């Protein structure tokens, strides 16, 4: 089943559009794995997917303990996303994607700045061959995002200046990406990007809570999935926090967005 479909199924089955960013601070690998597994077990009914980042891949090892986390997510029928932000020449990108897909991840994130030919084309090729997904960064959630994603690009063909993130959104559409990442900290940008992407490319929005983004604003402006990490992973009671976040998203959505 294609990744986009897998996400939709998980969304329907769980009633949640929260992607858990399973990020934990520095700790001994043994403790990290135990903690990560505990959190995943506690919140799995309140989320629709799991995203891993270098927080766990570096200390635990892709073909080491990370395998048991991917297996646990599979047991809960939750898709897994590797947030590797692929950003190199095509040959290197291909190897990166092959490793993550071989390890069992259902999708990877990638940076549109490297372009298509000999850039992200090989990543999309492998993803399509194996029903995996590629999520494209369109506008990141951090404060300095404007420096790159917000800069104006001069278009020679028509003499116009266009914002970089709008160009990335158009590329996400053209490349048939499985998702576009836009920070919840910039709800107006979510709306603008959503008007370019329509129903074709769902918006994944990180930055809720710890970075100041708000659930309602992200959803009402067109985000489909909310990526949430520290608000859940660092809380004393991840299960009840995740449940409350899920209920908050359901309330926002039922207000007739
Ligand atoms: P948190 O909810 O703790 O801020 O975590 C957000 C997660 O999403 C982190 O893994 C971060 O690397 C990732 N992320 C982000 O915060 N903003 C982006 O623009 C893109 C991301 O992948």
Question: By alpha-carbon position, which residue is closest to atom 15 of ligand 1?
Answer: 206
User: 66, 103 in Cβ contact below 8 A?
Assistant: yes
**Interatomic CA distance for residues 128 and 126, integer angstroms:** 5
Close Cβ partners of 61 (under 8 Å, ≥ 6 residues apart): none
Residue 73 confidence (pLDDT): 98
Integer CA distances (angstroms), 177 to 42, 88, 95, 149, 234, in order: 31, 18, 19, 18, 31
Residue 28 confidence (pLDDT): 78
User: 181, 200 in Cβ contact below 8 A?
Assistant: no
List average pLDDT for each run of 10 residues in the chain, which is 257 residues long: 98 98 90 97 98 97 96 98 98 98 98 98 98 98 98 95 98 98 98 97 97 97 98 98 97 80
Sign of CA dihedral 94, 96, 102, 107: negative
User: What values do phi and psi take at 142, rounded to 5?
Assistant: -80, 170
Determine the structural domain holding residue 150 and report its residue range: 3-255
Question: By alpha-carbon position, which residue is closest to atom 2 of ligand 1?
Answer: 229
Close Cβ partners of 128 (under 8 Å, ≥ 6 residues apart): none
Domain count, the chain: 1
CATH number at residue 41: 3.20.20.70
Distance from Cα 251 to the centre of ligand 1, integer Å: 23
Distance from Cα 121 to the centre of ligand 1, integer Å: 25
Test site for ligand 1: of 141, 148, 205, most ligand atoms within 8 A of the Cβ? 141
Question: By alpha-carbon position, which residue is closest to atom 18 of ligand 1?
Answer: 140
**Interatomic CA distance for residues 80 and 99, integer angstroms:** 14
Residue 255 confidence (pLDDT): 80
pTM of the entire predicted model: 0.98
**Interatomic CA distance for residues 116 and 133, integer angstroms:** 16
Return the closest-CA partner of residue 128 out of 89, 168, 84, 177: 177
Residue 256 confidence (pLDDT): 60
Pocket of ligand 1 (CB under 6 A): 21, 23, 53, 83, 140-141, 181, 183, 206-207, 209-211, 227-231
Distance from Cα 18 to the centre of ligand 1, integer Å: 13
Residue 29 confidence (pLDDT): 77
Test site for ligand 1: of 227, 238, 241, most ligand atoms within 8 A of the Cβ? 227
């Amino acid at each position: 089943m294609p990744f986009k479909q897998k996400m939709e199924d998980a969304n329907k089955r769980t009633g949640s559009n929260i992607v858990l960013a399973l990020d934990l601070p520095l700790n001994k690998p043994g403790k990290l794995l135990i903690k990560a597994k505990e959190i995943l077990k506690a919140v799995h009914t309140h989320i629709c997917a799991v995203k891993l980042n270098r927080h766990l891949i570096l200390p635990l090892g892709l073909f080491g303990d990370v395998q048991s986390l991917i297996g646990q997510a599979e047991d809960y029928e939750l898709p897994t996303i590797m947030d590797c932000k692929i950003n190199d020449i095509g040959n290197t990108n291909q190897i990166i994607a092959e490793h993550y897909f071989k390890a069992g991840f259902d999708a990877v994130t990638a940076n549109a700045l490297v372009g298509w030919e000999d850039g992200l084309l090989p990543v999309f090729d492998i993803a399509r061959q194996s029903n995996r997904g590629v999520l494209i960064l369109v506008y990141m959630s951090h404060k300095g995002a404007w420096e790159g994603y917000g800069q104006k690009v001069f278009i020679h063909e028509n003499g116009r200046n266009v914002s970089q993130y709008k160009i990335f959104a158009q590329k996400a559409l053209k490349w048939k990406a499985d998702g576009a990442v836009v920070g919840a900290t910039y709800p107006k940008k979510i709306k603008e990007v959503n008007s370019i992407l329509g129903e074709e490319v769902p918006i994944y929005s990180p930055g809720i809570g710890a970075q100041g983004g708000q659930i309602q604003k992200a959803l009402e402006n067109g985000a489909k999935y909310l990526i949430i990490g520290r608000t859940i992973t660092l809380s004393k009671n991840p299960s009840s926090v995740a449940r409350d976040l899920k209920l908050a998203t359901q309330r926002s959505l039922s207000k007739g967005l």
